[in-house]
Amino acid sequence: MNQNQNLLPARYKTLGWILVIFLAINFATRIGLMLFEQDASLATPTLILEIFSIGLLHDLAAATYVLVPFALLALLFGNRPWQRRLYAIIVSALVAGSVFGFLFTALAEGTFWNEFSSRFNFIAVDYLVYTREVLGNIWQSYPVTWLLLGIGLLALGIFWLIRKPFWQAAQGEAGSFGKRLALSLIIFALPVFSFWVVNDHFREPFEKPAARELALNGYYEFMRAFRANDLDYFRFYPSLPSQEAAAQLQAQLKQGQAEIQFIAGGIPTKHVVTPANPPIKKNIILVSIESLGADYVESFGGKRGLTPRLDQLAKESMVFNQLYATGLRTVRGLEAITLSIPPTPGHAVPVRKVNTGLQSLGSVLKASGYKTFYVYGGYSYFDNMENFFSGNGYTVIDRTNVKPEDIHHETIWGIADEDILHHAIKVMSEQSANGQPVFMHIMTTSNHRPYTYPEGRIDIPSGTGRDGAVKYTDWALGNFVDEARKQAWFNETIFVFVADHTSNGRGRTDLPPENYRIPLLIWSPNFIQPQAFNDLASQIDVAPTILGLLNIPYTSEFFGQDIRQAAHQYPRAFMANYLTVGYMQNGKIVELRPKQPPELVDAQSGKAVDSDDKQSLINAALAYYQGAAEALRQLAGK
């Protein structure tokens, strides 16, 4: 016994207790997430063994970082009685606090998983920047006081169970300084070792995204996302030779519109758009609707009874039934609608350091004589919206421009949809008074947790869930349309209603198409003839379609196409889920992941397929994403 104690001083047994508690809580978290997923296909013995064995490896990798401050404490305090006692007091308090932190992180992972079906990733890192909105949303959405009290009691209970052996070890022999230094240096080296050993290789055996995520560790994934939150496409993703990529990209665009004549030099997509008919200078109001997937809109095959006003408008509109969002966050939707660019890996353009000076829907219309506005119900510093829109041709208006007496309700995300839409009516009336056309892009916020809104508007009580938030947003849009009808500018305005993304973060594959399908309708009673377009299209096609509808001539650098003119000949869509980006065509999806070869999967089943068009689809996907990455790299280099 004495020999063993000499080899490992008693003090270092405290690190063993910390390791056991950390691994146990992460093990329990993994079980909880698996049960929450309610996926019977995960319950096979072989898969469970793989998930938990690889999960243990990731947990151990994360634990190497957790142990560092405790190893430093063990090194600093010597062997004298007062030093042992002081060490025991400090490390006990630190362990009790750490157990609380472990439990809190487990709860945070549960709420994040509920929203995104994922361990911590880019979104969690981004949310660190916007703690006001994120913490406020948590406070408004959950019984935070009771949850923290429960976690605190559980942490104290865990510490109470180990208090005697832990205290005995903490006051035990510290060992000589040389021995403490050697042991602590070994522990300090473990994070470096885990950094190089634990990598993407361990993710590869899992076909199901849920299994892959369950095998990961939230702490480790958070740090991984923090380190790699600005991916260089050309370092991590497959690519073609530059000239071949440009030729492939131009060939794809010509499939939709054979008459395109590209301009040599610069971005391969650059070409002159010259409509056959003169421009139609209508006002444009584009409303991007928070989290409104097609599965919530009855006229698009979704839930019944939640969107009566949009369903009525759909009967009078140009409707696009197979439009797909590029991502699962508002910032991705804004990027696609505004810039007409595929969703490159890493951060969306609005939250990148270099995000201005790009061609946008607003800049094209501004050059054509329009006044251009971005109107947001929240604070426009969120997701860097103010910088992005003001630097790309828009005047930004947000909740700070709305008088307090005009606000009926607000959450941490923004004022009620009816309030920002009512304010937009005022701005529109003021700005259009001199006859100059106006383009206004409005972003709603109410269809977001905590799902609260003014009482008495609809028959679903406020704060009871997403169904109520969807129905309230629909009511607010209907109220907006009714108010707009009374305005002098109404007959000279087209209204575009499109979602920013769906509310589905989880899926059977990395890129399940049903998680990206969104509604798009263009309504203008005196101008638009009701009709439906059923060809596959992308959110990046919204801007070219609006410009084409109004015969706006411009020199385009957009990657999208006019759906009305091109989608029937060239139906395709783009989508992204954090690290995976995809290209969908012919019922198949090309998936591009970092440091892996392209994969072609069936859009419905998610199973890998091999077909005659496999290489041509892969080349098309590479050309688009490589072209977009190159365009953004050129911008950053200016």
How is 410-475 classified by DSSP, letter by letter? B-SS-B-HHHHHHHHHHHHHHHTTTS--EEEEEE--SSSTT----TTSSSS-TTS-HHHHHHHHHH
With respect to residue 459, please indicate whether it lies within any of the assigned structural domains. Answer: yes
- 3-class SS string, 364-416: HHHHCCCEEEEEECCCCCHHHHHHHHHCCCCEEECHHHCCHHHCCCECCCCEC
With respect to residue 350, please indicate whether it lies within any of the assigned structural domains. Answer: yes
Q: Of 472, 478, 473, 517, which is closest to residue 495 (Cα–Cα)?
A: 478
Provide the pLDDT for residue 596. 85
Alpha-carbon span 438 to 282, nearest angstrom: 8
| Other CB atoms within 10 A of residue 556 CB | 23
Q: List, for residues 205-248, the tens digit of each pLDDT value.
A: 777 777 888 888 888 877 776 665 566 788 788 999 999 999 99
- 3-class SS string, 123-174: HHHHHHHCHHHHHHHHHHHCCHHHHHHHHHHHHHHHHHHHHHHHHHHHCCCC
Provide the pLDDT for residue 636. 65
Provide the 3-class DSSP secondary structure of residue 104.
Answer: helix
CATH number of the domain to which 338 belongs:
3.40.720.10
Last residue of a domain, one of 227, 258, 280: 227
Q: Do residues 201 and 252 share a domain?
A: no
Backbone angles phi and psi of 510, in degrees to 5: -60, -40
Cβ atoms of 602 and 588 within 8 Å: the answer is: yes
Q: Do residues 153 and 31 share a domain?
A: yes
With respect to residue 237, please indicate whether it lies within any of the assigned structural domains. Answer: no
Dihedral of alpha carbons 563, 566, 571, 576, sign: negative
- Maximal CA-CA distance, the chain: 94
Residues 84-109 as b/e (b if ≥16 CB within 10 A, e otherwise) read: beebbeebbeebbebbbebbebbbeb
Residue pointed to by tokens 């490589």: 626
With respect to residue 234, please indicate whether it lies within any of the assigned structural domains. Answer: no
Alpha-carbon span 331 to 350, nearest angstrom: 7
Q: List, for residues 452-504, the tens digit of each pLDDT value.
A: 999 999 999 999 999 999 999 999 999 999 999 999 999 999 999 999 999 88
Backbone angles phi and psi of 223, in degrees to 5: -65, -35
Last residue of a domain, one of 227, 261, 280: 227
Cβ atoms of 350 and 335 within 8 Å: the answer is: yes
Provide the pLDDT for residue 507. 65
> Cα-atom radius of gyration of the chain, to the nearest Å?
28
With respect to residue 151, please indicate whether it lies within any of the assigned structural domains. Answer: yes
Provide the pLDDT for residue 383. 82
Q: Do residues 214 and 140 share a domain?
A: yes
Q: Do residues 251 and 221 share a domain?
A: no
Q: Do residues 271 and 190 share a domain?
A: no
Q: Do residues 398 and 501 share a domain?
A: yes
Provide the pLDDT for residue 3. 42
Cβ atoms of 355 and 349 within 8 Å: the answer is: yes
- 3-class SS string, 242-266: HHHHHHHHHHHHHHHCCCCCECCCC
Provide the pLDDT for residue 565. 94
Q: What's the structural domain count of the chain?
A: 2
Q: Which DSSP letter does residue 595 get?
A: T
Domain that holds residue 586: 242-637
With respect to residue 581, please indicate whether it lies within any of the assigned structural domains. Answer: yes
Q: Tell me the CA distances in angstroms from 433 to 155, 314, 374, 413, one per residue in order.
A: 63, 29, 19, 31
Alpha-carbon span 537 to 543, nearest angstrom: 12
With respect to residue 236, please indicate whether it lies within any of the assigned structural domains. Answer: no
Last residue of a domain, one of 227, 259, 288: 227
Q: Do residues 248 and 221 share a domain?
A: no
Q: Of 411, 406, 412, which is closest to residue 424 (Cα–Cα)?
A: 406
With respect to residue 69, please indicate whether it lies within any of the assigned structural domains. Answer: yes
Q: Do residues 273 and 184 share a domain?
A: no
Alpha-carbon span 234 to 413, nearest angstrom: 36
Q: One-letter amino acid identity for 42?
A: L
Q: Do residues 584 and 473 share a domain?
A: yes
Provide the pLDDT for residue 144. 78
Cβ atoms of 175 and 183 within 8 Å: the answer is: yes
Name residues of the chain where pLDDT drops below 70.
1-6, 116, 122-139, 200, 203-204, 225-231, 505-508, 636-638
Non-local CB neighbours of 627 within 8 Å, separated by 6+ positions: 245, 246, 249, 267, 268, 269, 559
Provide the pLDDT for residue 546. 98
Q: Do residues 390 and 335 share a domain?
A: yes
Q: Do residues 182 and 290 share a domain?
A: no
Length of the chain as a residue count: 638
Q: Do residues 214 and 246 share a domain?
A: no
Provide the pLDDT for residue 2. 44
